[in-house]
Structure 1
Amino acid sequence: MIESPEELEAIRKSCHSMVTKSSSLSAGAAIVPLPGVDIVSDVAILMRLIPRINEKFGLSPEQIDSLDTEPKLFVMTTISNTGSKMAGKYITRKLILMLLKKMGFKGASKGAAKFVPFIGSALAGSISFSAMKYMGSRHIEDCYQIALATLENKQRESAVMVKPATEQASSITSDGSKETE
């Protein structure tokens, strides 16, 4: 479980680094002038990348299932409120393909660009890099917001649990028993 905003920020930076590396792999596959290689590659990259990001933020399905009822409910509600399509979910090829279809305009332009000699391959690689970077970064920001809200909620609950115990004033009554205000 993430314990501090500093730890959360370090996770965010680490995930952005992973996304940049994955985006470079996607761009490399897009340069190959064979139809479909880039899509198969993007699916494979995202099938590895998204679960790793979820896990780093404590948002894999297994991590969420291991939470107590109250924190689990809070996390699931926060995921729903952010509208994240991938946080806390088992990542399947079907889900990845659905998300890639939503970005279809980039895929179509990438596919058409491949047929323009030299410049087309570079353009396809550039489009692929940008699309992968966008998808990954968007997912990181969703996970970051969910994890931040969860951390803040945990800190609020801890403060509430500690506060009443420290604020309780007691006095001794005339019969010698303690009285709490």
Structure 2
Amino acid sequence: MLIRSLAELDRIRDECRTMVTKRSAVSAGAAAIPLPGLDIGTDVALLVEMLPAINSKFGLTPQQIEQLDTRSKRLIVVAVTSIGSEVIGKFISRTLVMSLLRKMGTKVATKSVVRFVPFVGQAVAATISFGVMKMVGNGHIEDCYQVCRQALLEEARQSTVIEIGPEVAE
């Protein structure tokens, strides 16, 4: 693993949250413009770029995982499996992102329809878009955080050596 401490892990999580907030603002801006397909296209493009960037910050891209030693790789795979993430350690494709957005179906559909209502609709669409992007991004950050934390703690547990010295007779 590239991350060596819980403090470093917390710092990376904070950096990624800042990135998600910025991308969410871009998504909200695109949702406020009443052009058909612009909002979904923007969201897909943002997620296809953002999810791998988050994976990379946490050291969880397929390439980074492949470079780990066997023991570390096993710890990551076990942690990813226990979390049940669909995007950690995977190649992020448009198809995968579209499947994530489909899971948010009602919110995405509401955003797409409501933005054609002048002024109020655009504000509502922007708010929904911001919220969906934050929810997807921050959810992925938390999954990555938990995977790294679990692997880091397990690695520390496995490498802890207890020395038993000679008994002291009185």
State the TM bucket, normalised to the shorter chain.
over 0.9
Instruction: Report deviation, 1:127.
Output: 0.3
Structure having greater relative contact order (Cα 8 Å, sep ≥ 6): 2
Q: Equivalent residue for 1:73?
A: 74
Q: Does residue 28 in structure 1 map to residue 42 in structure 2?
A: no
How does the TM-score come out when normalised to structure 1? 0.88
**Counterparts in 2 of 1:91-110, with a 5 A limit?**
91-110=92-111
Q: Which residue of 1 aligns with 2:40?
A: 39
Using the alignment, how far apart are the partners of 1:32 and 1:22 within structure 2? Answer: 16
| 1:167 alignment partner in structure 2 | 164
Q: Once the 2 structures are TM-superposed, how far is the Cα of residue 167 of structure 1 from its aligned partner?
A: 2.8
Q: Which residue of 2 is the match for residue 139 of structure 1? A: 140
2:9 equivalent to 1:8? yes
Amino acid in the other structure paired with 1:12: R
Q: How many residue pairs get matched? A: 166
* Per-residue deviation, 1:16: 0.5
Aligned Cα root-mean-square deviation (Å):
1.3
Tell me by how many angstroms 1:58 deviates: 1.1
* Seq. identity, %: 48
Q: In 2, Cα distance between the equivalents of 1:153 and 1:168?
A: 25
Gaps of 5+ in 2: none
Q: Could you tell me how far apart the structure 2 residues matched to 1:5 and 1:77 are?
A: 19
SS in 2 for 1:44: helix
Match in the other structure for 1:56: 57
Runs of 4+ in 1 over 2 A off after TM superposition: 166-169
Deviations 1:27-56 (A, max 9, x none): 011011011001110011011110111011
Structure 1 unpaired stretches of 5+: 170-181
Cα distance in 2 for residues equivalent to 1:43 and 1:76: 27
Match of 1:83 in 2: 84
| Cα separation, 2, equivalents of 1:136 and 1:10 | 16
**Residue type at the aligned position of 1:123:** V
- Kindly provide the amino acid, as one letter, of the partner of residue 108 in structure 1: A
Deviation at 1:96? 0.3
Q: Distance in 2 between matches of 1:70 and 1:55?
A: 20
Per the alignment, residue 148 of structure 1 pairs with: 149
Q: Which has the larger radius of gyration?
A: 1
One-letter identity of the residue aligned with 2:27: S
